[in-house]
Each structure stands twice: as structure tokens, then as C-alpha cells.
């Protein structure tokens, strides 16, 4: 067996040994998902550049803005 075949076999063995926990309501609510919106390309480029200049990300800025506007889930 090739060395890659052996690595794959070991990885599968370890994966099968992991115990699966039932998803609780809390674990489901903590799952990250995508949020898509349509904006003008020029706006996205400007916002991405400004975020980079300020050492942050668009994700962080959008999350902060939405949390400030609508609050956090109970």
C-alpha cells in the first residue's frame, strides 16, 4: 500500500472512532452560515479596501452593524 493509502486508511479509522453527539439547540444556533447580499461592485471594492486599511474584515464590520441595529438573539 502506498504511503498516502496508509494515511487515508488511518484517517478513516480515526474518523470512525469519533463519537457523534446529537445536535443540541445551542450547537445548531452556534453554527456559522453564509449571508449573501447584492451591492454595487464599486461599493464592495471600496468597503473591502477601507476594512483592510483599518485592519478588520467586512464580516466583522457587517456583524457589528447588524448587531447594533437589531441586537443579539435572546
The three cell numbers of residue 52 are 483592510
Position 10 in a domain: no
Residue 8: inside a domain: no
**Number of folded domains in the chain?**
1
Distance in angstroms (rounded) separating the CA atoms of residues 61 and 48: 10
Domain membership flag for residue 23 = no
Q: What is the mean pLDDT of each run of 10 residues along the chain (74 residues)?
A: 78 71 66 94 97 96 96 89
pTM, to two decimals: 0.58
69 is a domain residue? yes
Question: Is 57 among the domain residues?
Answer: yes
Extract the C-alpha cell encoding 9. 486508511
Q: Which residues constitute the domain of residue 70?
A: 38-74
Residue 43 domain-assigned (yes or no): yes
Amino acid at each position: 500500500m502506498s504511503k498516502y493509502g496508509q494515511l487515508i486508511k488511518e484517517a478513516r479509522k480515526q474518523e470512525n472512532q469519533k463519537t457523534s453527539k446529537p445536535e443540541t439547540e445551542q450547537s445548531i444556533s452556534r453554527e456559522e452560515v453564509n449571508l449573501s447580499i447584492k451591492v454595487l461592485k464599486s461599493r464592495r471594492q471600496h468597503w473591502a479596501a477601507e476594512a483592510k486599511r483599518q485592519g478588520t474584515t467586512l464580516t466583522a464590520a457587517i456583524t457589528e452593524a447588524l448587531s447594533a441595529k437589531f441586537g443579539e438573539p435572546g
